[in-house]
A and B are shown apart, each in its own frame.
Chain A
């Protein structure tokens, strides 16, 4: 058991922190205001090889592995968590193809995603409680050599800017509501992107419904065989939980650092509030929670990289942060008092962002069931 990062992993983390300082810190507040997709930044990420960082070399990735990847996600999130959301959904889409796709699919799609000439995303959620259930569920039917998709995928990140959607649909007729995965080019006739959702935070990552009406794809768009999608979705969502954990840790670290600096400068009762135990407790709680979360994230990432079972570890990261994640900003804003509530200061933006990385996509029972089932 070794938690020390390799020299390569450390260097990658270092370069991501530098990237954050140089390119993200100056634009983070503006991006929050405008909510405009940061195309130029994504191109710069590609220049640093971050878009293909976790993908294997043989399909055109950097082959740096998942532990390196979360170093980058954590580092970027200290400056601008929205960028990390764009990166996560892109990387997970590419990873899905690299892991579950055929040789032809890998060759056709992964190199361009890894290079960043194409942006990808997952279209996984629906308006119903689980995919396949709601009235506007995305259904696929086989018609001759083709599959035809009809329905709506909800809350799709990178909607409208992605070139390629990794789409989860329910293949009809199917008794078990099993999912199947299709690769759909964003420019395919019948694919339309709904109005952008006015999200609370993580602004700059577009979120919208994507509507499929009579979208016909060739048989070779199917990933991993008919009805193979449920297991794939479960795997990807577990990896995503770990990546979002890294995002939350980065956010929490940035917030506690800002609050600690504030506390050293803010003088009340004749001394800096940093010397008050009540303030120290708030800061210590946040630092502790983000540290414990980071250990969990690192461990789960290591298991993912080594190809070992990691679902329970990922679920624990998710459960832990659903409890303590948003508290990191509730408490750090508290340290800054009125300043911590003013949008002229950075913490309110991070408060809105962390609700996205910890509370969004956390169905009430998702982590608990997996954890309970894992107890031998």
Chain B
């Protein structure tokens, strides 16, 4: 286990208590209804947790990266769907953090202080893994931009108050023509399309966004025209470990529930079931602990100001693959009793962790590029006497 300071331990404890009180008791209900419930935001208002990534100068909690990972792990433990709501709001903020000026940051982050949330609008029906092939446009008209297009699978899309939307300011330039914009909810022409019904993370809101002649002031452009793809990639580098955090929490929850079940089934003596079962439980914990360390290491690199792009991709891939493996194993070890919607939820929730915020295939592209073009390992050793 990473050595945490007192502050981090206290924050994790607070998160644990919040999750136990507000998230765990209602997770099954929202999973069943398949709807995002504003209850969560109401419950989280007082703690300002939706502003945990907001810097102090904008009134936020300004948690370091490792502490954010600890909180997200707890949320993933409680319900990966509700954890996704928090993670996706921070994802949208990361674009503003990366590309926004002081005024834009203040404008975008202020709603987060009262548990309003944001959404990140990059993906389009024809532009998933190939994120640079989006067709949405933002054409300059005087001191405004006019945005047109369709975004899909947008987490929080139906319930956010602020959005970061990516669109082509110069359609002739392809991905170099993409720019990022702040778009506030309620602008004329901005409507919510189909609500997606998903295999898992069903308590999170996923929708299509329809933009028809939506006008935003030029002051809503993040960075410069054409910097959108760069901002998006930097955003995803920052945000990927959030998915790793949810995955670790999810996997730990599945293991804990599995152990709880086996204690009951074997009347307090699951070790009597034999080594095959015991070793499977050990393997689950080995995977989880290894994944957690990879995540924490990545977060410590980020907090130290060291480049962590490769580690970000590695921990996202490792943690999500571990979550898929551990949650499947948990269903198996619980037998027929594990095959309920309620316990199967961990397995259903895990599947998205391998897909969203860059599929694990895209992560492997990033990682393999880093492997194939390594930085010099170390300077040649000095000879004795030099």
Contact = CB atoms under 8 A, between A and B. Distances in A.
Contact of A340 (B196, B266, B328, B355): B355
A134 B267 CA distance: 9
Interface stretch (A68-76, A181-189, A250-258, A354-362): A354-362
A237 to B, nearest CB: 12
Nearest to A200: B344
B78 to A, nearest CB: 20
Contacts of A201: 339, 344
B335 A330 contact: no
Contacts of A125: 335-336
Nearest to B153: A338
A232 interface: no
B129 interface: yes
B342 A198 contact: yes
A353 B265 CA distance: 24
The 6 closest A-B pairs by CB, nearest first: A200-B344, A155-B336, A268-B130, A348-B199, A365-B276, A359-B332
B277 A359 contact: no
Interface string B127-138: 111100100000
Given A129-B265, A199-B339, A361-B335, A326 B199 contact: no
A168 interface: no
A363 B355 contact: no
Given A326-B328, A351-B199, A355-B344, A334 B338 contact: no
Interface string A277-315: 011000000000000000000000000000000000000
A85 to B, nearest CB: 11
A191 interface: no
Contacts of A200: 331, 339-341, 343-344, 347-348
B73 to A, nearest CB: 22
B318 to A, nearest CB: 16
Most chain B CB neighbours (cut-off 10 Å) among A127, A154, A155, A278: A278
A163 interface: no
Contacts of B324: 330
Most chain B CB neighbours (cut-off 10 Å) among A127, A341, A348: A341
Interface stretch (B1-9, B179-187, B357-365, B371-379): B357-365
Interface in A316-365: 322, 326, 330, 333-334, 337-338, 340-344, 348, 351-352, 355-356, 358-365
B337 A352 contact: no
B341 A198 contact: yes
Given A129-B266, A200-B339, A342 B129 contact: no
A57 B207 CA distance: 56
Contacts of B355: 333-334, 337-338, 340-341
Contact of B197 (A278, A343, A363): A343
B72 interface: no
B62 to A, nearest CB: 33
A269 B133 CA distance: 8
A368 B152 CA distance: 46
A215 B267 CA distance: 27
14 contacts: A128-B265, A134-B265, A155-B336, A200-B340, A200-B343, A278-B361, A333-B355, A342-B198, A342-B199, A355-B347, A360-B339, A364-B273, A364-B333, A369-B276
Nearest to B345: A200
Interface string B151-187: 0110000000000000000000000000000000000
A11 interface: no
A22 B199 CA distance: 27
Majority SS at the chain A contact face:
mixed
A267 interface: yes
A81 to B, nearest CB: 13
B277 A365 contact: yes
B336 A360 contact: yes
A338 B340 contact: no
Majority SS at the chain B contact face:
helix
Contact of A127 (B152, B265, B343, B344): B265
A197 interface: yes
B354 interface: yes
Contacts of B354: 330, 334
A263 to B, nearest CB: 12
B280 interface: yes
Interface string A232-267: 000000000000000000000000000000000001
B132 to A, nearest CB: 9
Contacts of A207: 336
B250 to A, nearest CB: 15
A352 B197 CA distance: 14
A338 B123 contact: yes
A270 B132 CA distance: 11
A75 to B, nearest CB: 24
A341 B339 contact: no
Contact of B274 (A127, A356, A362, A365): A365
Given A334-B359, A338-B152, A359 B331 contact: yes
Contact of B351 (A129, A134, A330): A330
Interface in B225-270: 265-266
Nearest to B342: A198
B115 interface: no
Interface in A22-54: none
A153 to B, nearest CB: 11
Contacts of A127: 265, 337
Contact of B341 (A199, A358, A362): A199
Interface string A200-225: 11000001000000000000000000
A197 B340 contact: yes
Contact of B340 (A198, A278, A326, A337): A198
Interface in B189-233: 196-200
Most chain B CB neighbours (cut-off 10 Å) among A197, A269, A337: A337
Contacts of B152: 338
A154 B336 contact: yes
Most chain B CB neighbours (cut-off 10 Å) among A125, A154, A352, A369: A352
Given A134-B265, A197-B340, A200-B343, 18 more contacts: A125-B335, A129-B265, A155-B337, A200-B339, A267-B126, A322-B332, A330-B324, A333-B351, A338-B123, A338-B152, A338-B356, A341-B352, A351-B348, A355-B339, A358-B332, A359-B331, A362-B335, A364-B273
Contacts of B348: 200, 351-352
Contacts of B198: 341-343, 348
Contacts of A364: 273-274, 276-277, 280, 332-333
Contacts of A351: 199, 348, 351
B181 to A, nearest CB: 23
Interface string B263-302: 0011000000110110010000000000000000000000
